[in-house]
C-alpha cells in the first residue's frame, strides 16, 4: 500500500512538472497577444542599460482587438515614424516580442475606437450621417 502511494505521489509530481513546463513553453514561445498602437515621438526615450543593443525605447498606449487598453514598452534600433500605426505581438513573460507597421484599415474596430484616427478618416463609431434631419408631418424639420 505504501509503495502504491509513493508511485501515485511521484506520478502527480511528474504531471504537475510537465504541466508547468508546457505552460512555460507557451509563455516563451507561444503565439501571445496582439495589440495596436500609434507611434508618438513624445513617448520616445533613450533605452536603458539592459537594452540588448537597442538605442530607443517607446512606452505607447495600446489597444487589443477587444478594446482593452494598456501601456506597452519596447526597445527599437531606430526611431519610428511619428503617427504610424503598429501591430505589437506580446508574450506574458517577455513583453513585446515583435512589431510591424500596419494600415489603419487593418486594425480591428474595437482597437480603432481607442486610437486616434488618421486625419483623413473618421474615428470608429463616428459615422458620418447621410440621413436628413427628422421631419414632421408637414415635411418640416422637427425642433427638438
* pTM of the predicted protein model: 0.66
Given this model, what pLDDT does residue 108 score?
Answer: 96
Q: In three state form, how does the secondary structure of the chain look? A: CHHHHHHHHHHHHHHHHHHHHHHHHHHHHCCCEEEEEECCHHHEEECCCCCCCCCEEEEEEEEECCCCEEEEEEEECCCCCCCCEEEEEEECCCEEEEEEEECHHHCCHHHHCCCCCCCCCCCCCCCCCCCCCCECCCCCECCC
Given this model, what pLDDT does residue 142 score?
Answer: 43
Mean pLDDT by 10 residues, the chain (144 residues): 87 89 71 90 82 86 95 92 95 88 96 91 51 41 42
Amino acid at each position: 500500500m505504501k509503495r502504491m502511494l509513493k508511485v501515485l505521489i511521484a506520478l502527480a509530481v511528474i504531471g504537475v512538472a510537465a504541466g508547468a513546463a508546457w505552460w512555460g513553453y507557451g509563455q516563451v514561445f507561444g503565439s501571445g497577444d496582439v495589440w495596436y498602437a500609434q507611434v508618438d515621438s513624445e513617448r520616445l526615450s533613450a533605452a536603458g542599460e539592459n537594452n540588448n543593443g537597442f538605442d530607443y525605447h517607446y512606452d505607447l498606449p495600446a489597444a487589443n482587438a477587444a478594446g482593452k487598453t494598456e501601456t506597452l514598452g519596447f526597445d527599437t534600433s531606430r526611431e519610428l515614424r511619428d503617427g504610424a500605426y503598429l501591430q505589437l505581438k506580446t508574450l506574458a513573460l517577455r513583453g513585446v516580442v515583435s512589431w510591424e507597421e500596419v494600415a489603419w484599415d487593418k486594425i480591428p474596430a474595437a482597437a480603432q475606437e481607442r486610437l486616434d484616427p488618421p486625419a483623413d478618416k473618421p474615428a470608429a463609431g463616428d459615422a458620418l450621417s447621410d440621413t436628413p434631419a427628422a421631419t414632421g408631418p408637414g415635411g418640416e424639420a422637427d425642433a427638438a
